[in-house]
Amino acid sequence: MSPTPLDRSAPASTARLVRRELHASRAVPSVLTAILLIIVCLVLLFEAALKALGDNPFLVDVEAVAAWIGALPSGVPASLLGTGSFLLLVLGVLLLLLALLPGRRARYTIPNERAAVVVDAEVVASSLARRARAEAGVAPEQVLVTVGRSSVTVQIRPTSGIPVDAEAVRAAVADDLRRSSVEPEPRITVVVAESGVIGQ
């Protein structure tokens, strides 16, 4: 062994870890699709085997289905054909969107020398809420922080008779964000409600 720990973590693999954590893996839709396809394949397999053995069809008569498809659009009520086709269309669009959309998760990454660091947006929001509450001098229930992908909104309901300095709150929140240096850096909006609440 070398005096310094043997390095087997490359920056590229760290970047890959972060990228994978920030995007959905599509594992659940994949498993559901696979299960449905397996069921369809099993039924067809069974029918094909029956055909090969010269037995009567069990669930689906493949030849009858083929004849039915050949006879479309007659042989089935228009409303039924329309709804069925529409459902297939929607399902197809849904799967295609799942395949093509980036599927970003509500997470941020924090630069770190040693590790890949990924933070849930919720954790960032609760940290900012705490900072904003301390700065504004209000109770936890009077602060609501919403964290989006590129924006942070801080809503404060001040205690009646005690004004809240929105600019100071913004500076505090900006300082917190800067220290985390979350990427991408969000835009900050501070909204102080017109009406106050009875102090706690």
Measured between alpha carbons, how far is 58 from 51 in angstroms, rounded to an integer?
Answer: 10
Verify binding: residue 45, another protein, rule CB under 8 A.
yes
Instruction: Name which position in 75, 168, 181, 187 contacts another protein (CB under 8 A).
Output: 181
Verify binding: residue 59, another protein, rule CB under 8 A.
no
Tokens of 105: 């998760």
Verify binding: residue 64, another protein, rule CB under 8 A.
no
Stretch that binds another protein, among 83-91, 150-158, 161-169, 184-192 (CB under 8 A): 83-91
Q: Among 90, 106, 95, which Cα is nearest to 29's? A: 95
Stretch that binds another protein, among 16-24, 166-174, 183-191, 192-200 (CB under 8 A): 16-24
115-133 in b/e burial notation, b at 16+ Cβ within 10 A?
ebbeeebeebbebbbebbb
Instruction: Name which position in 60, 65, 67, 168 contacts another protein (CB under 8 A).
Output: 67
Verify binding: residue 84, another protein, rule CB under 8 A.
yes
Instruction: Name which position in 59, 70, 161, 194 contacts another protein (CB under 8 A).
Output: 70
Measured between alpha carbons, how far is 146 from 198 in angstroms, rounded to an integer?
Answer: 23
Stretch that binds another protein, among 108-116, 153-161, 165-173, 191-199 (CB under 8 A): 108-116
Give the nearer residue to another protein in terms of CB position, either 75 or 163: 75
Measure Cα distances from 134 to 137, 145, 174, 180, 192 in Å: 5, 13, 14, 18, 15
Written as one letter, the residue type at 180 is S
Verify binding: residue 112, another protein, rule CB under 8 A.
yes
* Residue 184 preceded by cis peptide, ω within 30: yes
Measured between alpha carbons, how far is 148 from 192 in angstroms, rounded to an integer?
Answer: 19
Instruction: Name which position in 52, 167, 194, 198 contacts another protein (CB under 8 A).
Output: 52
Site string for another protein, 114-143 (x = CB under 8 A): xxxxxxx-xxx-xx-xxx--------x---
Verify binding: residue 38, another protein, rule CB under 8 A.
yes
